[in-house]
Amino acid sequence: MKKFVLLVLTCCFVLGFSGMASAHEVEFVNRTNFHWVGFYIDYDGHGHHWGDDLISGSVDQGESLTVDVHRAHSRLFKIKIVERRHGRLYEVVWHDVDLENANKVVMHYNRETGLTSYRVIRD
């Protein structure tokens, strides 16, 4: 009986942790006034493992991209967007983006200051 209880508890423990490692969808909204032609997430938070480009085509102003965000060692991620501005490509990197329980992230560009920002929305 003890072995059976131990087996059940072990299964619950393993299944609980595998659920924590699953992905959740996050919608990234383009409010930068530029065309996104590349979108990368660094899951280790150090900028060394960007992974594959998550955009097939482009994401224009006002459009959004839905991404399955995989939980990693940290809840803070780096996000890199490649934008096309006036025929040239620019990389914008946001550091320490907290995507835990995030449903939507709205990316902004302020033309007056030249600064980028983002707003995380959790429902």
pTM as predicted: 0.77
User: Which domains does the chain possess?
Assistant: 24-121 (2.60.40.2890)
DSSP, res 101? T
Mean pLDDT of the chain: 81
Tell me which of 65 and 11 has the higher pLDDT.
Answer: 65
pLDDT tens track for 39-66? 999 877 666 778 899 998 999 999 999 9
- Helix ranges (H only) for the chain are 2-20
What confidence tier does 80 reach under pLDDT thresholds 50, 70, 90?
A: very high
Residue 86: which region, alpha, beta or left (left: phi > 0; alpha: psi -120 to 50)? left
Tell me which of 60 and 1 has the higher pLDDT.
Answer: 60
* Structural contact between residues 44 and 14, judged by C-beta atoms closer than 8 angstroms: no
Q: Is the pLDDT of residue 14 over 90?
A: no
Mean per-residue pLDDT for 118-123?
91
DSSP for 39-69 reads EEEESSSSSS---S---SS-B-TT-EEEEEE
DSSP, res 121? E
* Structural contact between residues 69 and 25, judged by C-beta atoms closer than 8 angstroms: yes
Tell me which of 74 and 42 has the higher pLDDT.
Answer: 42
